Amino acid sequence: MAGRPEIAVIGAGLAGVRLAGLLRDVATVKIFEKSRGTGGRMSTRRAEGFQFDHGAQYFTARGEAFRAFLAPFIASGTVAEWKPRLRAAPSDRQTDELRWNASRYVGVPAMNSLCKAAAGALAVAHGDAVRTLHRHADGWKLELASGEEAGPFAAVLSTAPAVQTAALLPQEMSGRAALEGARMLGCYSLMCGFVDLPDLGWDALVCDGSPLAWIAAGHSRPGRTDAAALLCQTSNAWAEENLERDQQDIQQELLSALADATGLNTDAASYVSLHRWRYAAVQTPAGRPCLFDPDLGVGAAGDWCEHGRVEAAFDSAEALAAEVKSYLARKGFR
């Protein structure tokens, strides 16, 4: 019988930490994350006393497995329901978002709290991107942006967005066509902090006829500080058309859009910042729960596999973990 296998997971978003958590009973798992924090697109920025959840705004839990996973985090207060006062702009606009009454959950005290808690004691190497994979007789080695090498690993599993996963995994892997068929769209997040902001009468504004699609009062989420933090997100279509423009111009245009949609004097913002997401939402999913090539020992999971939302990242990780476990069992690992 073979010894305990070592597995590399690329990415510390929800898919990566869930996948690593599921595999730790059967393998020694190491997560490689290019950014300095855990959470991926369930992200939080803190600056000048303000806190912005500038990626995922909330998540829903439709399936049994995700609900069961969330239950202990809800019990411990790491996840809570957010019940925003939702309005439309212009105010006569009809939108399903206003009628929709499913529970909306957020991490507490920040959106990345769920991934941090789920990662627990897992080994995560932050701040060094995986650049390339090399296949050797004894397994896969990872070449990192720092020039360091890691491995060998019996399997390498990527949870990076589809385009980044496609750049890393071998051309000859099975499921390559599905991976390359996945399309993701960009988004801009404009962050504005105000020292003094009156009650706006809403916690989230669903916008139309504007570059902005969504404006949320981040401080209305449970467990946040009172510091008034508005998070504005563009529509994916607008972002796609404007991804390569000068970022200062984009920031000015979005500040004007915020003023138009809300009537706020944006000059009063004491903190303003812009974040460009190249891969925020899924336009075309890969169309399968996960990808795994048992001959090569490489696989992939993420929201882009099926639905493009937080719960889909979780579901995809569950699917890949099941595939990898049966692969390891077939190989004689216990």
Ligand X SMILES: Cc1cc2nc3c(=O)[nH]c(=O)nc-3n(C[C@H](O)[C@H](O)[C@H](O)COP(=O)(O)OP(=O)(O)OC[C@H]3O[C@@H](n4cnc5c(N)ncnc54)[C@H](O)[C@@H]3O)c2cc1C
Q: Which residues are at the interface with ligand X (CB under 6 A)?
A: 10-16, 32-35, 40-42, 55-59, 129-130, 159-161, 164, 187, 189, 233, 277, 280, 302-303, 308-310, 313
Distance in Å, CB of 223 to ligand X, minimum = 18
Query: How many Å apart are CA 110 and CA 99, to the nearest integer?
Result: 26
Contact between 312 and 305 (Cβ < 8 Å): yes
Contact between 234 and 210 (Cβ < 8 Å): no
Please, which residue, 130 or 166, has the CB nearer to ligand X? 130
Query: How many Å apart are CA 243 and CA 257, to the nearest integer?
Result: 17
Distance in Å, CB of 236 to ligand X, minimum = 9
Largest CA distance in the chain: 69
Query: How many Å apart are CA 92 and CA 90, to the nearest integer?
Result: 6
Distance in Å, CB of 174 to ligand X, minimum = 21
Please, which residue, 44 or 262, has the CB nearer to ligand X? 44
| Cβ within 8 Å of residue 250, ≥6 positions away | 188, 242, 274, 276
Please, which residue, 178 or 331, has the CB nearer to ligand X? 178
Please, which residue, 141 or 331, has the CB nearer to ligand X? 141
Please, which residue, 10 or 89, has the CB nearer to ligand X? 10
Contact between 36 and 126 (Cβ < 8 Å): yes
Distance in Å, CB of 159 to ligand X, minimum = 5
Please, which residue, 3 or 287, has the CB nearer to ligand X? 287
Strand partners, 141: 134
Give one DSSP letter per residue of 172-225, joined into a string. Answer: T-TTHHHHHH-EEEEEEEEEEEESS----S-SEEEE-SSSEEEEEEGGGSTT--
Distance in Å, CB of 220 to ligand X, minimum = 15
Token code pair at residue 227:
């510091």
Distance in Å, CB of 3 to ligand X, minimum = 26
The side-by-side arrangement of strands in the sheet containing 298-300 is 123-126, 28-33, 6-10, 155-158, 298-300, 291-293
Residue with tokens 């946040």: 224
Please, which residue, 176 or 276, has the CB nearer to ligand X? 276
Please, which residue, 293 or 303, has the CB nearer to ligand X? 303
Distance in Å, CB of 127 to ligand X, minimum = 9
Distance in Å, CB of 41 to ligand X, minimum = 3
**Other beta carbons within 10 Å of 178:** 16
Query: How many Å apart are CA 7 and CA 153, to the nearest integer?
Result: 5
Distance in Å, CB of 145 to ligand X, minimum = 8
Taking CB atoms, the residue at the shortest distance from ligand X is 40
Please, which residue, 129 or 272, has the CB nearer to ligand X? 129
Give one DSSP letter per residue of 52-110, joined into a string. Answer: E--S---B---SHHHHHHHHHHHHHTSEEEE---EEEESTT---HHHH--S-EEEESSS
Kindly tell me the sign of the dihedral angle through the C-alpha atoms of 33, 272, 88, 95.
negative
